[in-house]
Structures are given as structure tokens and as C-alpha cells.
Amino acid sequence: MSRREELIQELCPDGVEFYPLGQVAHYAKKRINVSQVSEQSYVGVENLLQNKQGKTVASSVPTNGAVIAFEAGDILIGNIRPYLRKIWLADCDGGTNGDVLAVQIEDKGTLMPKFLYYVLSSEDFFLYDIQNSKGAKMPRGSKEAILNYQIPVPPLPVQREIVRILDNFTELTTELIAELIAELTARKKQYEYYRDKLLAFSPAD
């Protein structure tokens, strides 16, 4: 039995709780003046790289007004043409615009930023995002639908072990992410099945 399986069996034998993303995180709303960002810390949809490859230095930065502030540990998702699969786990504070969703965790004591990043990097999430996008030539993801996406939240030791496993791969595979999330989902379904069986009392004769 792997360490991951041992932790799941030990810490969540009754299954893993799933929550809508909007219950454990929110979109960044705070704004800062553009003078507080640079080419290194500004992230627009154009300098997020396709296929989960992070970001590059911005080729241009707004010259006036305010931008949406994000913090290290936030997950930034390109909200235009979700099929390009643009996502980045912020390693610094900075600013972005309305074409990028900056997802901020409500309580990092219960949900690790990198674990949530891996969940949102899954093919399952991007297919969900694509299916709920609107527009033909330039489809845009639905902010409301994204907040309804179901997120597994196992105990922190399980999250840490899953992150450790994924970090050990030099090239992240969507198959491995899918396998880990599928196991958490299966645990929850198994728990619900037996719970329903146990609570399905027959009327007395």
C-alpha cells in the first residue's frame, strides 16, 4: 500500500469532502495602481502560456488606471479561449486584468495553494470550463460556472502527499492528476453508497 493510500485510509476512511470552488475560494477584487506593477509582476492573458506552461514576462503593461491585485499563492486562469489551458500558480504579488481570473483561497490552513493548482490544472477542470464557456470566435469562461466546480478537500497530510507525488514528475501528466482525483471521488462515492445502505431502514413488520 502506498503512503498516499495509507493516508487516505487513515485520515478519510469515510470518503473525501467535495465543495464548490466558490465555497473554498473567491476571485481577487482588490485593485492597485499600475505604478505598482512591472513587466515581471503584471500578468495579462497574452503572457500566460498555453497548456499549463506558466507565464512569461509581459510585453506591455498598462500605463494608467488600476489593475486587479493578486498575491503569491493565488491561481491565475486565462478566461479567454479556455481551450488554450492557461493557468499559473503565482510565485509573487502583482496585478492582472479582467481577462484573467485570480483565484484566492479562503483558508490556506485547510487547502494548500499547490494542491488546488493541481486540481485546477486537471483535464477534467478544463473540459468543464470549455463546456461552460460562451461565445464562438472568442469564447470566454463562465465565472459563475467555475465557482460551482467541485473541489476535493482531503486532510492536509493527504494534500501534501499528493503534491509531493506530482512534484516528483518533471513533466506534469494530466493522467496522473485524473487518477488521483478519481481515487478521491471513488472514496466519496463508496462512502455515500454504504451510508445510504446503512440509513435505508425498512419499516417494522
Q: Which three cell numbers stand for residue 74?
A: 493565488
Backbone angles phi, psi at 188, to 5 degrees: -65, -45
Sheet of strand 25-27, all strands in order from the earlier edge strand to the far edge = 25-27, 100-105, 75-78, 87-89
Residue 145 has pLDDT above 90, yes or no: yes
Cell numbers for 5 = 493510500
User: Rounded to two decimals, what is the model's pTM?
Assistant: 0.79
Residue 194: what pLDDT? 45
Answer whether 3's CB lies under 8 Å from 41's CB: no
Cell numbers placing 25: 475560494
**Which tens digits make up the pLDDT trace of 131-142?**
999 988 889 999
Average of pLDDT values for 32-43? 95
pLDDT for 198 equals 41
| pLDDT tens digits for range 42-92 | 999 999 999 998 999 999 899 999 999 999 999 999 999 999 999 999 999
